[in-house]
Amino acid sequence: MKNFTYHNPVRILFGRGTIPKIAEWIPPEKRVLVIYGGGSIKKNGVYDQVASALDGRGWSAFGGIEPNPLYETCMEAVETGRREKAEFLLAVGGGSVWDAVKFIAAAIPFDAGDPWTIVSEHAPVREAIPFGGVLTLAATGSEMNSGSVISRRSTGEKIPWGSPLVFPRFSILDPETTFSLPERQTANGIVDAYVHVLEQYLTYDVNAPLQGRQAEAILHTLIEEAPKVRANPRDYDARANLMWAATQALNGLIGVGVASDWATHLIGHELTALHGLDHGRSLAVVMPAMLRLRKEAKRGKLLLYARRVWGIDGDDEDRAVNEAIERTEHFFRDVGCPTRLADYGIDPEGWAPIPARVEARWGRIGEHRDIGREEVEEILRLASGTAARGKA
Ligand code: NZQ
Ligand code: ZN
């Protein structure tokens, strides 16, 4: 196992009826700025619950954070926060709102030039406004980590960044808030969480069996619970299990002491930046192709994955690896995320700029840093065609 330091200070308040607990964890004298997305929280009653939890305090709200949150919109919120002297931010929404709030929290006090450099150059964050939130979509893990991904309309970029100063103070995870999710967003979230696990699990063996078993437990949970929410979107237990699984998938725990990959995410972000693909869907496209191209480099872990997660037995290792990759792609499609570029109308001309963009920003990627421009191109080529019938 590799050396590591692990620290996660996020207080999780989990379960039905936990939104009123906001009042316990925001100091009463603080001026609060509630930040939310396009309005789903006004339709499903979450906004009203938050408003009543904040009753009697000084608070205001900023709405309009879009999926794949834009720097431009975040800067409007920064202006609002500065003008109103916000002392505590409250994220109410999915990963995009949480990511936006992390940026806004760091940008409000930032005095070393344009806050965009926090994202583009990873300029050091020396101070951030404290924040907490209410999560309404199980997917990103943003509610229990210190990462964020911000896009910029004017430059067509989508870039991850992070700082230990943007861990949430608390996160309210009430699975009932996710009952109102459209099928597509539930599907995106399941694939996102699944790929977060694969990016930390399917690398190479460093003799860390506990992290491996924890990762497998999350994968099993996602595979078992996905059909239940599809059949009944108001199945509380299934929603609860998905929510906790997604949080565990990217709160850092399964990634300690092991190698991680993240190449699928970095390529996926470019697909989103160029074509607006939902985050989960970009991963559903890239991950199967990534595994096909890199199955030798990942062979040991892929075999373990085949045996332990998909229960594929037998002595034929090649068959086991290939079948595990096919089952993975099939799972993404079953959940509701098409897995090929053609499914989204993206042709080779559409993805042509991506290999150079990835190389220019990140150099060589993957756990062995063996994915360069040519490999990215090959991955996108493998992801292009339609999935073979029956094999997904
Ligand atoms: O904006 P509203 O009206 O709220 O609607 C949203 C949005 O349209 C809707 N939604 C959310 N909760 C709902 C709901 N609709 C009905 N009922 C509810 N309860 O869902 C749509 C998508 O929301 P979004 O927040 O964009 O989805 P998600 O949680 O998948 O977040 C995706 C973003 O997170 C980033 C992605 O890159 C992407 O920008 N990620 C953040 C990570 C992190 N911070 O650690 C890691 C991830 O890998 C990921 O990159
Ligand atoms: Zn993700």
Q: Do 238 and 190 meet the contact criterion of CB atoms below 8 Å apart?
A: no
What does the pLDDT read at residue 339? Answer: 98
Instruction: Answer whether 151 contacts ligand 1 (Cβ < 6 A).
Output: no
What does the pLDDT read at residue 215? Answer: 98
Question: Is the model's pLDDT at 323 over the cut of 90?
Answer: yes
Backbone angles phi, psi at 307, to 5 degrees: -75, -50
What does the pLDDT read at residue 391? Answer: 43
Listed residue (277, 283, 281) closest to 379, CA to CA: 283
Listed residue (10, 225, 189) closest to 94, CA to CA: 189
Distance CA 90, CA 50 (A): 10
249 CA to middle of ligand 2, Å? 10
3-state secondary structure of 86: coil
Question: Is the model's pLDDT at 390 over the cut of 50?
Answer: no
- Relative to beta strand 157-162, strand 147-152 is antiparallel
Quote the tokens at residue 217.
Answer: 């437990």
Q: Do 254 and 211 meet the contact criterion of CB atoms below 8 Å apart?
A: yes
3-state secondary structure of 207: coil
How many Cβ atoms from other residues are within 10 Å of residue 196's Cβ?
28
Quote the tokens at residue 64.
Answer: 């309009």
Lowest pLDDT segment from 112-116, 138-142, 384-388: 384-388
How many Cβ atoms from other residues are within 10 Å of residue 251's Cβ?
21
Instruction: Answer whether 265 contacts ligand 1 (Cβ < 6 A).
Output: yes
Confidence of residue 385 (pLDDT cuts 50, 70, 90): confident
Question: Is the model's pLDDT at 78 over the cut of 50?
Answer: yes
Per-residue pLDDT tens digits for 238-272: 999 999 999 999 999 999 999 999 999 999 999 99
| Residue 33, CA distances (Å) to 39, 140, 323 in order | 16, 22, 49
What does the pLDDT read at residue 169? Answer: 98
Those residues with Cβ within 8 angstroms of residue 129's Cβ, 6 or more apart along the chain or in another chain: 81, 86, 87, 88, 89, 104, 105, 108, 109
Instruction: Answer whether 322 contacts ligand 1 (Cβ < 6 A).
Output: no
Per-residue pLDDT tens digits for 328-372: 999 999 999 999 999 999 999 999 999 999 999 999 999 999 999
Q: Do 258 and 206 meet the contact criterion of CB atoms below 8 Å apart?
A: yes
Question: Is the model's pLDDT at 163 over the cut of 50?
Answer: yes
Per-residue pLDDT tens digits for 168-222: 999 999 999 999 999 999 999 999 999 999 999 999 999 999 999 999 999 999 9
271 CA to middle of ligand 1, Å? 16
Percentage of the chain exceeding pLDDT 90: 98
Distance CA 248, CA 171 (A): 13
Average pLDDT, the chain: 97
Quote the tokens at residue 251.
Answer: 């709160």
pLDDT, mean of residues 120-141: 98
Per-residue pLDDT tens digits for 81-109: 999 999 999 999 999 999 999 999 999 99
Distance CA 76, CA 65 (A): 10
Smallest CA separation from ligand 1 atom 47, residue: 140
Q: What is the pTM of this model?
A: 0.98
Those residues with Cβ within 8 angstroms of residue 322's Cβ, 6 or more apart along the chain or in another chain: 295
What does the pLDDT read at residue 387? Answer: 64
115 CA to middle of ligand 1, Å? 22
